[in-house]
Structure 1
Amino acid sequence: MATPLAAPVVVSEHGEHHAVTSMTVDPADPIFAGHYPDFPIYPGVCLVEFVNASAHALALMSSREVELTGVESVRFHHPVFPGDTVTARLDLAERAGGWRCSATLSNGDIDIATVRLAYRNGTEE
């Protein structure tokens, strides 16, 4: 699976339907080239992919396979800068034929974003 993430996703807590993950944004990440020169911020799409990668990690830890079917909502509250550590608190809720992942992202006490993603069970060929 292709991903814009250069930083590894670290799982610090997990249960069957929840997890806490984190990643540290590398200041040398090539994604910063051209993304607001002289004032680099981490692209929002990378934060959404961080949640997706975290949801896949949680699903695998619970012996599930899930496939992303859509982005239900994203709300950005604060930018992420090179060197920041982003923490995601995820909750998976079962729904007909799949799952919803609701996540809140933070950097210490700073609320960064809320993300809701939709998944279906397994993978379809």
Structure 2
Amino acid sequence: MTDVAEVKLPVDVQRIAKMLPHRYPFLLVDRVTEFEAGKRVRAIKNVTFNEPFFTGHFPDHPVMPGVLVIEAMAQASGLLTQLTVGEENKTNQIFYLVRVDKARFSRTVVPGDQLVMDITHKRSIRNMGLYECRATVDGKEVASAEILCAAPEVKA
């Protein structure tokens, strides 16, 4: 496990892109601002009017789709895992979102918002990690969920 002092904060988007397989327009984390190895991470997504999904969701009232808020929290969960094992020890193992429980959306996310995601690692089971996720804008909760991510099992 990586020592907290070894992770230089903030983690910028260039470092994030080295840890996650996602790319434009689907990389939904811009920065990591807080990190405790194996425990928690705080990450942000700056939501701009230039996001491609605003073209159709909705043209006269742009709202970030809830499923993309969940995806952003899943990506932040992946960053918690990657930072914990250490950026230099990153494997090219891809983790998939396999379950979302207790998803709740309390407010809309709109252009100009800064989505702050607080992710807590609850437990690991074999090749899976369970995370408690909360997203806020201006200190007010906009979404929360429990997310389970898993690496595919290697067949012999």
TMscore range, shorter length: 0.7 to 0.9
Q: Are 2:44 and 1:14 aligned?
A: no
Helix, strand or coil: the match of 2:63?
Answer: coil
Task: After TM superposition, give the deviation of residue 21 of structure 1 in Å.
Answer: 0.6
Task: After TM superposition, give the deviation of residue 6 of structure 1 in Å.
Answer: 5.3
Give the AA of the match of 1:41: V
Q: Which residue of 1 aligns with 2:45?
A: 23
Higher RCO, Cα 8 Å, sep 6+: 1
User: Could you list the runs of 4 or more consecutive aligned residues of structure 1 that deviate by over 3 angstroms after TM superposition?
Assistant: 1-8, 64-67
- Provide closer, same or farther for how the CA distance between residues 42 and 90 of structure 1 changes in structure 2, counting only shifts above 3 A: same
Helix, strand or coil: the match of 2:60?
Answer: coil
Task: After TM superposition, give the deviation of residue 7 of structure 1 in Å.
Answer: 4.8
Q: Which residue of 1 aligns with 2:74?
A: 52
Q: Are 2:98 and 1:74 aligned?
A: no
Q: Which has the higher strand share?
A: 1
The structure number with the bigger radius of gyration is 2
User: Which consecutive unaligned segments of at least 5 residues does structure 2 have?
Assistant: 1-20
Give the AA of the match of 2:131: C
User: Which consecutive unaligned segments of at least 5 residues does structure 1 have?
Assistant: none
Contact 2:62/2:111, CA 8 A, preserved across alignment: yes
Q: Which has the higher helix share?
A: 2
Of all paired residues, the percent bearing the same amino acid is: 21
TM-score, normalization: structure 1?
0.86
Distance 1:33 1:124 in 2: 38
- 1:60-99 matches, within 5 Å, as 60-63=82-85, 66-97=95-126, 98-99=128-129
Distance 1:19 1:109 in 2: 16
Q: Which residue of 1 aligns with 2:26?
A: 5
